[in-house]
Amino acid sequence: MNRAPWLWAILFALWLVLSWHFTPLFLFFGVVTCSIAVLVVTRMGILDRESLPLHLAWRAATYVPWLVWEIFKSNVRVARIILSPRIRVDPSIVHFRASQRTDLGRFIYANSITLTPGTVTTGIVGDDFEVHAIVQEEIDGSEENIMNRRVAQLEGEAE
């Protein structure tokens, strides 16, 4: 799939939403800016599955709402820890193996872990994740496994 037209279309849509001026001058500026951006990106040769993961778009539509709900739940958990009269934390750094096959999948998983309060990814070597958890049980439970599986699903069949 040729990604350059897709990138151009996405950039131009972003331009339109952010400017919302439809005078010829502004449209011309938009066309020129987006074209230069796409030209630079293609010349650098960094336009690939990783930088523009279009194949994830429709599966992300179910992943993102689920992630938002997870973020909400763990926010409430951390808020309860912070607001309790005596702070009971049991932080530790945990290592475990992630089941994603591509770097992009690992990146999404690591960022999802960090986005949910209570767990922060502090390092990745290969498929070994190093995660700091504010309460150790947080990471031992099935929650992380569910997220791990869902990101692997999101990633789909690797090439």
Partner 1 sequence: MMGDIVNAVVWVLLIAGGFFMVTGSVGMVRLPDVFTRMHAAGMVDTMGAGLTLAGLCVYSLHDGTGLVAVRLVLVLAFLWFTSPIATHAVAKAALSGGTTPYTVRGAQAGAGKDARGGGAPDAARQAPADGERGVGDPS
Residues that bind partner 1 (CB under 8 A): 14, 17-18, 20, 68, 71-72, 75, 78-79, 81-83, 86-93, 110-111, 114-123, 132, 134
Give min distance, CB of 111 to partner 1, in A.
Answer: 4
Of 41 and 110, the one with the shorter C-beta distance to partner 1 is 110
Of 21 and 39, the one with the shorter C-beta distance to partner 1 is 21
Give the torsion sign (CA, 102, 53, 64, 154): negative
Beta sheet of 92-97, edge-to-edge order: 92-97, 128-133, 119-125
Enter the DSSP assignment of 24: H
Q: Are the CB atoms for 34 and 4 separated by under 8 Å?
A: no
Give min distance, CB of 75 to partner 1, in A.
Answer: 4
Of 47 and 71, the one with the shorter C-beta distance to partner 1 is 71
Of 20 and 43, the one with the shorter C-beta distance to partner 1 is 20
Give the torsion sign (CA, 31, 36, 38, 39): positive
Give min distance, CB of 15 to partner 1, in A.
Answer: 12
* Count of alpha carbons within 13 angstroms of residue 157, beta-carbon side: 1
Give min distance, CB of 13 to partner 1, in A.
Answer: 10
